[in-house]
Each structure stands twice: as structure tokens, then as C-alpha cells.
Amino acid sequence: MRALAAVLSIAPMLMPATASAADSYRWLHVTIDTPWAIFLFLLPMVLIPVVLMAILYWRFTFRPVDENKGRGRPKSESEGVE
């Protein structure tokens, strides 16, 4: 088993490395629009959680504690709960 692991770890070093594999610009066409495309792709990943937090905060802010069905602050003995 160790011999197989040794052969599998050494085999990639014996294979010739091709120089064309490092030339990534051949397949990826980078223009001035590329940063904008990345920005517009990542923008919803930032804004969706912020908008969701604002909606949930606004929804649960104006509800009384009793309407939250136990999700609010528990009443203590000093507040008149027997």
C-alpha cells in the first residue's frame, strides 16, 4: 500500500509540464468591463443579507411581546407573572 502511495505521489513530478497551461489569458478575455462584471456579480451577495436583516428587524420591532409567541423577552417575577 505504501508503494502505491509513493508511486502516485511521484508520478506527477515525472510528467512533463506544458508551458501553455500557465497562459490563462488565452482562454479568458479580460477587458475594461471585467471589473464591472465581477462587481455586479458580487453586489447581490452583499446586499441581499443587509436587506433581509432590515426587513426582519422592521417586521419584529413593532410587534408586542405576547404576539411573538414566546420569542420575546421572558417575563420575570417582578413584572407580575405568577
Please tell me what DSSP assigns to residue 20.
G
User: CA-CA distance, 34 to 25, in Å (whole number)?
Assistant: 13
74 CB-side CA count, 13 A? 3
Q: What is the pTM of this model?
A: 0.42
Q: Is residue 2 part of a domain?
A: no
Q: Is residue 22 part of a domain?
A: no
Q: How many separate domains does the chain show?
A: 1
Q: Domain of residue 51: give its range.
A: 31-63
Q: Which residue has the higher pLDDT, 3 or 44?
A: 44
Q: Is residue 37 part of a domain?
A: yes
Over the stretch 48-64, which tens digit does the pLDDT of each residue have?
Answer: 999 999 999 998 888 76
Q: Are 65 and 73 in contact (CB under 8 A)?
A: yes
Please give the helix or strand (H or E) that residue 53 lies within, else none.
helix 34-61
Average the pLDDT over 58-81 and give the result: 65
Over the stretch 5-41, which tens digit does the pLDDT of each residue have?
Answer: 877 777 677 666 655 555 656 667 778 888 899 999 9
